[in-house]
Chains A and B, each alone.
Chain A
Amino acid sequence: MAANPLAPIPERDFDYWSAAHLLRRAGFGGTPEVVQTLHAAGLDGAVDRLVEFTPTVDDGDRFDADIMRPRSTEENQVLAKARDRGDEATVERYRQDRQQRQRRDRTQLREIRRWWLERMIKTTQPLEEKMTLFWHGHFATGYRTVEDSWHLMMQNRLFRAHALDDFATLTRSIIRDPAMLQYLDGDQNRKGRPNENLARELMELFVLGEGNGYTEADIREGARALTGFTYVDDAFEFKKERHDAGRKLILGRRGAFNGDDFVEILLAKPETSIFLCEKLYRFFVDDRPGSPDAEGRKVVEGMAKTLRRSKYRLAPVLGQLFRSRHFHAPERRASIVKSPIQLVVQSIRELGTPIRDDRVLLEATDLMGQNLLQPPSVKGWDGGRSWINTATLFVRQNTLVYQLTGRSPGLDAERDGEAPEPFASERLVEHLSNDGPPDPDLVVDYLLRFTLGTTPHPDRRSTVRSFLRDVGDRIDRDRITAMLALITAMPEYQLA
């Protein structure tokens, strides 16, 4: 066993299946062709292709920034006068305008979700979207409290712009982010009556990590440092008159700190790099209860060292991880639970199923426990085993049936509708035939290994093989799709 689990694997060990594993973890997987291309680039080429990218300029501007804009001073005056005069009609008009805006904004929220899902499905820079999803779960902010879809759109762009950039800049930006300031009551954090919500989560969930040596007094002092950080309409504003400019004592350091100083103090703690790398490790490498284990702990420490050396830039950390022996060890293959988004996006990108109705897919991920832009709490999604229970397993299996066949997971399938778009499943095994039809044994082996991401259990192989025999032992579109329906219903299919 090598002393350093973060040392890169030898180039010769980077085979087709390593490339497939890499693409699943660093992205959302790809078709056999895409995996082949990535493999051909070699280990360094493949990792660089995933990790080195120029941040995307997105087309989110097509969304309306003003649906939930605050009322203008003039409008406020009109409304106040109407109230004073008892002018019910005007008050009622304002009330209805507000309700109509709320409805429009909820519609736009759904559009933004679809827009993001489509990006994940189509992007050529999958790690960019995957890290955007990671940050959304890390700096978790939900629509129910924010109630402004544009603010969540802005936050989503922030995550994307800093996807693999440095964590320090991202953290300084998040304490200026309107959605976050609304979510954690930044607006109410004022001199003389501090609101501790944001300071507490910066300590506990965002930067330093629970149990890493801070006290309630540090939280209170941190909240004082953040006073005056608020926003007006869509922009951050530092309101000097609300800021407590006095001296604070935070984690043993004294000074007339402001919000940025507070963040710097947290980033200077070595525990911060460990905390963040542990979270990345659970997201990319091992999500079992109790992770990281002893070797994983060494990996996390190595990652944290790289992170500190790179001044909190993530690209070097993930580049090193994705080349490492630890990451490519056989026991890592198909060993973490796919998030609902991963399940849906990966099945499209990897199997090449039609996208079908993205609204149905978003509804399905919600039923599986992951509603984009509405994480369950400021803790984000717990991930791992928490995704899986007796109810979500059926939703997962049935969503895959829908993707493979176009048959809706609901009772709607009973209605006659247009024929669903066909899924050209034969493309997955095209490369296995020379002349004439491919060998059924070969096809079964390949489909299982490709779809499950690891060598299948012999029982699974024999079940699929005898099913194929029972239905005529021929390889064609319908039989491949039927085999995929079976394989995707296997408990192991939930793993990446």
Chain B
Amino acid sequence: MWLPIQINEQSAEPLYFQIEVQLRALIVSGQLSEGTLLPSIRELAQMLKCSVITVRRVYQDLESEGLLRTRQGTGTYVARVEQREMDRHRLEAVIEAIEGAVAAGKLVQCSKEELADLFREALDKHYGV
């Protein structure tokens, strides 16, 4: 199974963290539904060109958050996610993305006002004025 996870090698964010954020988003957004069998650790590592140590860490973290469960011998599945959990996680991913956008703006020395304008423009573009 292919997962839409993108890795940014230039980022200072550790690899496991990048993968964790995206996999969590896929689960809480419902793109991966309850009971979906995820790739084996070695398979996902191969897909993302990272080590099994990183993938194991991601699976373990998400399992302890209750988003995944592992059945001995059969593999790792998407667990049942409560609606309340989903709402909380849902925003987490969005906040993360906005923070990323602000960081990108700061890198090219945007002022606060400039960024606010850009954000408003993007809102208008997608939601209508």
A and B are partners in one complex rather than unrelated chains: no
